[in-house]
Amino acid sequence: MVDMQTSIFLAQLIGPVLALMGLFVAIHPTRVEAMGREVLESPTLLLLAGLLALVPGLAIVLSHNIWVADWRAVITVLGWIMLVAGTSRILLPGLMQKMGDNMLRHRALIMVPSVLMLALGGYLIWVGYLTQLPQE
């Protein structure tokens, strides 16, 4: 059983990272597109991107595999998404390159994850920091 402190810690850790990345993508779409092309054109960078998603995703799934009808499930779902994304980049690089190329050709498709990251990050910041204030 996972205690609430682990969930709060993960919300406090993941929330700011997601929000910051969402802001970065929204503010610098041209830079994100260039970096995305670099990753897609390099088998080494694609493998590294897979590992960088796989490791934290696996850590979250192993330590926080909670399926409940509250905010903690968001962390679990994010862990599974990271695990699947990392595994896909490692085992299916060709497919990931095609999907990534299609996404980069349509700038609006870059903004969708940006908005989602910002919204989820903001939500986890709210849950992890603001709802955990000591009661007076």
* pLDDT values of the chain reduced to their tens digit, one per residue, 136 residues: 778 999 999 999 999 999 999 999 999 999 999 999 999 999 999 999 999 999 999 999 999 999 999 999 999 999 999 999 999 999 999 999 999 999 888 878 888 889 999 999 999 999 999 986 665 5
Give the chain's domain count: 1
Give residue 65's pLDDT: 95
CA–CA dist 112, 26 (Å, integer):
10
Q: Does residue 136 belong to any structural domain of this protein?
A: no
Query: In this structure, what DSSP letter does residue 127 have?
Result: I
Q: Does residue 8 belong to any structural domain of this protein?
A: yes
Q: Does residue 135 belong to any structural domain of this protein?
A: no
Give residue 108's pLDDT: 80
Q: State both tokens at 14.
A: 């993941």
What residue type is 94 in one-letter code? G
CA–CA dist 135, 61 (Å, integer):
31
CA–CA dist 24, 118 (Å, integer):
10
Give residue 135's pLDDT: 55
Q: Does residue 89 belong to any structural domain of this protein?
A: yes
Q: Does residue 43 belong to any structural domain of this protein?
A: yes
Range of the domain at 85: 4-130
Sign of CA dihedral 18, 19, 20, 26: positive
Give residue 47's pLDDT: 97
Q: Does residue 80 belong to any structural domain of this protein?
A: yes
pTM of the predicted model over 0.85: yes
* C-beta atoms surrounding 94 within 10 Å: 8
